[in-house]
A and B are shown apart, each in its own frame.
Chain A
């Protein structure tokens, strides 16, 4: 009897919990996913470059946006909003801030012509798709930029056609997306489709800039990825670089770029089916794969890998020097500052510095790098603005750690991308 009672209470409690959590999802957040908004396509680009666990976009505009605004706007790509807009868009969003009206998303106002864009066909009927977490009443207005729009100049309200070419209230929601049909306007070339979602049950409004290129598309969402690139062939192998060439991919809308991966790190990009990867270490085994992408951001599956061993170049490439200092030590912890220098003649891309991290130490905070600790080793990677080391270049970073040692010893050896460094 007692067991049955406990089971009943458990069922009741679970029911209550479900009720509470169901209520907890009834909030709107979203962004245009077709044609993809800047935040969404940069997020997808970042995911492709980040190997799934991080965001490392490769599109130059996305890279610039992350350098200016950090990665959080991409993690939160669906949250480009003003809480108390209440329809006052033109009053509270100044010219130049239409694509990112708040400080958090301001980087998505950068006036550039290389944001990821979606190919569309003028005058065609398409299905707009807008990500949402829950249904909420409201109205979406879609504007397009006027003829003669210049993407290298800040977007102004007067750059938009005066009336929306599409407007919808309470469109159907399915599978986490609002979707509705719309007829695209008669335009040619590069434009912005500007989407405003004003909720009717709240003053909250969402802002979304989708870069599109009219002409050359089918008018339907391009969700088909390019074919898988062929197996790369390595040539011109040196102590610090290798040339890779691979059979090209095909795509119904055209392949726009290739990314070369070493593990989950993008080490090179190319608009053609060949590239030279540099910044490698002598006498080191590498494996590379290639992924093709199209204008809509669709990515192919990875090509088969190619294994390469760099030559013994007498240390001409990949040479490095590390300076490790502890400017502050206290009972139970310390601050360390680290500077890594590329003393070689080739750039080192996507650097990773590894050193021993004793069991009694625990990382608490890092800056100017991403540090992970596993199996007694610390691995520091550069962040967006210092991920590559030019010849003669340096990157400085630091961290705080706790320690059980009264007198923690400094590390005595470091390796940069697998190559030992001199320690000063």
Chain B
């Protein structure tokens, strides 16, 4: 019985460590499918990717103007609480574009994305468990801040 309990504890801890290592490492060579597969692996959600939406219709013209030139590919999937969570494969330059738009008064505050390496998600809730970061920006500089769990 004691051995059984020990095995249960060891198994739980090992699995938790394995799953809890939410490194932002989707296979971006597979584009949006790579992000979805990574997210599905970590959360058991995001099983189906939708690609039939217009990004400007999703994000509105103001944010689409800033973001769209730096999005190589995008789609959405369902991951609670998000019925449509955006999965974005990024090109370099989004940070500079946001700062420029900030300086022109076209946007306010920080980009509303959770950033990984070469990709981003459009949500905020739950992102701290995925090893993602957010950008805090002024017109002259942005800082990458790990999203923390409180």
A interface residue numbers (CB < 8 A to B): 8-9, 11-13, 15-17, 19-21, 23-27, 29, 66-73, 75-76, 78-79, 81-84, 97, 101-104, 106-107, 133, 136, 199, 201-202, 204, 363-372, 383-384
- Whether B15 lies near A70 (C-beta < 8 A) is no
Is the CB of B47 closer than 8 A to any CB of chain A?
Answer: no
- A369 vs chain B, min Cβ distance (A): 7
Q: Does B55 contact A (CB under 8 A)?
A: yes
A31 to chain B, nearest CB (A): 11
Contacts of A21 in B (CB 8 A): 43-44
Query: Distance (Å) between the CB of B134 and the closest chain A CB?
Result: 7
A66 to chain B, nearest CB (A): 8
Q: Is the CB of A367 within 8 A of B56?
A: yes
Q: Are A16 and B123 in contact (CB under 8 A)?
A: no
B8/A383 in contact, CB under 8 A: no
CB contacts (< 8 Å) of A372 on chain B: these are 52
* Chain B contacts for A70, CB-based, 8 A: 56-61, 63-64
Q: Which 7 A-B pairs have the closest CB atoms?
A: A12-B11, A16-B15, A70-B60, A16-B12, A69-B60, A202-B150, A16-B16
Assess whether B62 is in contact with A133, with CB atoms less than 8 Å apart. no
Is the pair A8, B12 in contact by a Cβ cutoff of 8 Å? no
Chain A residues within an 8 Å CB radius of B117: none
Asked if A27 and B12 make an inter-chain contact with CB atoms under 8 angstroms apart, the answer reads no
Interface size class of B (residues with CB under 8 A): 35 or more
- A8-B4, A83-B134 given; A26·B58 CB < 8 A: no
Cross-interface CB contact of B19 among A8, A16, A371, cutoff 8 Å: A16
Cβ-neighbour of B84 out of A26, A72, A97, A368 (below 8 A) = A72
Contact A79 B13 (CB under 8 A): no
Say whether, besides A70-B60, A103-B107, A106-B108, A366 and B52 are in contact (CB < 8 Å).
yes
B136 CB–A CB distance under 8 Å: yes
Q: Is B125 positioned at the interface, with any CB of A under 8 Å from its CB?
A: yes
Q: From DSSP, what is the main secondary structure of chain A's interface residues?
A: mixed
Question: Within 8 Å CB of A107, what residues of B?
Answer: 60
Q: Does B93 contact A (CB under 8 A)?
A: no
B86 within 8 A of A: yes
B51 within 8 A of A: yes
In the complex the two chains form, what is the Cα distance from A113 to B20 in whole Å? 48
**Residues of B close to A364: CB separation below 8 A:** 51, 73
A202 to B149, CA, bound (A): 9
| B63 in contact with A103 (CB, 8 Å) | yes
Contact of B15 with A13 in the complex, beta carbons under 8 Å:
yes
A97 contact set on B, CB distance < 8 A: 108
State whether B57 touches A20 (Cβ < 8 A): no
Q: Per a CB cutoff under 8 Å, which of A16, A27, A199, A201 touches B125? A: A27
Residues on the B chain within 8 Å of A8, using CB? 4, 7-8, 11
* Chain A hits for B20, CB < 8 A: 20
Check A29–B81 contact: CB distance below 8 A: yes
Bound form: Cα–Cα A175–B22 in Å: 29
List 19 additional A-B contacts (Cβ < 8 Å) besides A29-B81, A370-B54: A8-B7, A8-B8, A13-B12, A21-B44, A24-B126, A26-B149, A67-B60, A68-B60, A71-B58, A72-B122, A76-B123, A78-B125, A103-B62, A104-B63, A107-B60, A201-B150, A365-B51, A365-B73, A366-B54
